[in-house]
A and B are shown apart, each in its own frame.
Chain A
Amino acid sequence: MTAAVTQSTCEALKKAMDTIGATAGAVYLGDPERSVLTLAAAVGQRTANDAAWPTEISWGKDAAKRLTEVKHDRTLLTVPLLLGEEEVGAVIVSGGKHVARDTETNELSNECRALARALAPEPLPALQDELRRRIPAGASEWLKVGIAAAARGDREAVMTAFPAMGRRVGREPLGSQSALVRRDVDVEIPLRAWRLDDAGRVALLCAFTGDAEALARELYFTGDLRERCGALRGLAVLGRTAGAIDAVRDAIRSSAAELFEAALAENPYAGRFLPDDEFRHAVLKAAFVGISVARVPGVESRADAELSRMLLSYVTEREVAGRSVPPDVWPVVALHPTAGLVAKLCGYLEHPATAHRVAAAQALGVIGDRQARPFMNDRLAREDDRTVRRILERALA
């Protein structure tokens, strides 16, 4: 991560420290080429004997070995700076007046996510960087020319490069765990489902100096399946009005899973501009076509009793037909529980599949119904899976 560390970084760091009453803290940013974390900002002294924060600390060479959750030490708490699922740095805080509780470390993690978003590069350079590391030099050069043309407002150049993108930069999964950040609405757009051509197409749209939203809409309606996916992902990054929502509607009406996924999963545009009734139907259809409802941005804030009713009705239909039920509907349904839901979830606590027990335990934690406690305690006593155990313990605490 190369963003300049500013005054606001220090302020964001203080805000993070306040969540656990820490007296000192430092922000470290990762340098993937050298496998070190470099000190970017610090507030207060690290320890009582005035030891300074080290300017560099070693960092896992292998991204898989890096930190993904809060690590407790006797005096220090290390929190990963996460962008999407990628660790881009770390925040280390010390001097907390007590051992931090789960709720506090959750809050601290959330503040650190906000800090990571604030430090993230703009979408266009972020995409260029993601692509540069993965595509041949010739393809990079070709894309650079297209981006320059888009930056001059050359609409025709974008219209011609858009269909050719797959041939030029490839169609394989991008393979990024990171996320783009939209500053105006402060949301992350995870890249995990993107392909190389998606990234190239969205880069062109981001570079375009004219009305990029209208252009994305036009490219959607004149595009083939892959172009349409690229246009929808473009709207996720740069859609600012409801002007292109008919493209999202069209994609949601289709059942081509790839297209539907691009319109809804990790796409905040749909969640922002679809009216309530259409949004509910889109979430229901996500469950129906096998896309996790947890991937729909805004599903938690927009969930309501009607959505719970619709999802449960779908679950019942599946159960009647003897088919499997998507477990990730439970935490969403739990936000507005309906009659009989707690009993159903207690039943799913005994499901042989871990994913069902995880989701049921999460949902029961959200609902907080005392009548479920005996069943949760009963399961906890026999539960082998660490994740389920942890969720149950938290829910019972």
Chain B
Amino acid sequence: MRIFEPHAHMFSRVTDDYEQMALSGIVAVLEPAFWLGQPRTSVGSFVDYFDAIIGWERFRAEQFGMRHYCTISLNPKEANDDRFNEDVLRLLPRYLEKDGVLGVGEIGFDDITPREERFLAAQLELARAHDLPALVHTPHRDKVRGVERTLAIMREVNFPPERVLIDHNTEQTVPLVIDTGCTMGFSIYPDTKMDEPRMVEILKTWGSDRMVINSAADWGKSDPLKIPKTVNLMRQKGMPEHEIEKVVWHNPVSFYAKNGRLDLRELDTPVTPSAQLFQGNSILRGPRA
């Protein structure tokens, strides 16, 4: 079964993770732009980071036959930083037109501040202007309130819900989102957010329409193999194969393919890892001809 990992911060993972993911059936990975743990101090750090997730990470993934895509945005946490937030917003149009950029994200709320609201609305406008879907992060603290505010802002700016993926849902937020038409993401984590057994229960309760799962693997304690591990549990619990495939492939693919930016023909074409170096750098150790 092919797996589309719709949320993993590969920038903060080692190359071995790519290899393990590929061996576990993940054929494509989407890397949303986010913060780096250590706060950035200038817009230049964003330029380098965006260039890395449209270039270097794509190259690393291809070495293991995986497609790599990304979404680009000013993340909610750093939307609060006046040293660069306006500059990053001005930078975005240039990146949103690039190949392999499938959406605007992660945007949304962290502390639910007025600045976060302003940059969420502004970036929804950018998504509309560039005909891209939006990937919305929901806060770790006061999550339900954050989801409510997100949905309210979407309505205020009249952004089509079928073009929005609301991520990091829990049992508490599903009832708020299920009837909106938004796609719902669930991040399967070792300790926090969501785990495999709870996820299977949610799918049993609410069905698999517009449901996607991800590892949200980053620099914290997380596991890039959480989708294949959840697939195992789904099978053990008797979920039919076509339902599983819908959640780990068809739902994320059809969400990002709506505007045509995700090239389905390309996705079906095997990646041939090039023997080339990237900017003088190779990740494959050992002899080369």
Q: Which residues from chain A sit less than 8 Å from chain B, CB to CB?
A: 159-160, 163-164, 166-167, 222, 224-227, 253-258, 289, 323-324
Contact = CB atoms under 8 A, between A and B. Distances in A.
Given A167-B263, A224-B55, A256 B276 contact: yes
B48 to A, nearest CB: 13
A255 B94 contact: no
Interface of B: 51, 54-55, 59, 93-94, 97-100, 260-261, 263, 274, 276-281, 289
28 contacts: A163-B97, A163-B98, A164-B97, A167-B260, A167-B261, A167-B263, A224-B51, A224-B54, A224-B55, A224-B99, A224-B100, A225-B55, A226-B99, A253-B279, A253-B280, A254-B278, A254-B279, A255-B277, A255-B280, A255-B281, A256-B277, A257-B276, A257-B277, A258-B274, A258-B276, A289-B277, A323-B289, A324-B289
A contact face: mostly helix, strand, loop, or mixed: helix
Given A224-B55, A256-B276, A324-B289, A167 B99 contact: yes
Contact of A222 (B59, B94, B280): B94
Contacts of A226: 99
Contacts of A159: 94
A256 B99 contact: no
A85 to B, nearest CB: 25
Taking each of A222, A256, A323, which has the highest tally of chain B beta carbons within 10 Å of its own beta carbon?
A: A256
Given A167-B263, A289-B277, 14 more contacts: A159-B94, A163-B94, A163-B98, A163-B99, A167-B99, A224-B51, A224-B100, A254-B278, A254-B279, A255-B276, A255-B278, A255-B281, A256-B59, A257-B276
Taking each of B274, B278, B289, which has the highest tally of chain A beta carbons within 10 Å of its own beta carbon?
A: B278
Contacts of A225: 55
Contacts, number: 48
B contact face: mostly helix, strand, loop, or mixed: loop
Contacts of B289: 323-324
B242 to A, nearest CB: 31
B279 A256 contact: yes
A227 B51 CA distance: 12
Contact of A254 (B98, B274, B280): B280
Contacts of B274: 257-258
A256 B94 CA distance: 22
Contacts of A258: 274, 276
A160 B130 CA distance: 11
Taking each of B98, B277, B280, B289, which has the highest tally of chain A beta carbons within 10 Å of its own beta carbon?
A: B98
A256 B59 CA distance: 10
Contact of A224 (B98, B261, B276, B280): B98
Contacts of B278: 254-256
A218 B266 CA distance: 29
A231 to B, nearest CB: 14
A166 B276 CA distance: 21
Contacts of B54: 224
A90 to B, nearest CB: 40
A159 B55 CA distance: 19
A163 B55 CA distance: 14
Contacts of B99: 163, 166-167, 224, 226
Contacts of A324: 289
Contacts of B93: 160
Nearest to A260: B276
Contacts of B94: 159, 163, 222
A227 B59 CA distance: 16
Taking each of B51, B263, B274, B276, which has the highest tally of chain A beta carbons within 10 Å of its own beta carbon?
A: B276
Contacts of A167: 99, 260-261, 263
Q: Report the 9 A-B pairs with minimum CB-CB distance, sorted nearest first.
A: A255-B277, A257-B276, A163-B97, A255-B280, A254-B279, A163-B98, A224-B54, A166-B99, A224-B98
B273 to A, nearest CB: 13
A171 B111 CA distance: 43
Taking each of A163, A164, A227, A257, which has the highest tally of chain B beta carbons within 10 Å of its own beta carbon?
A: A163
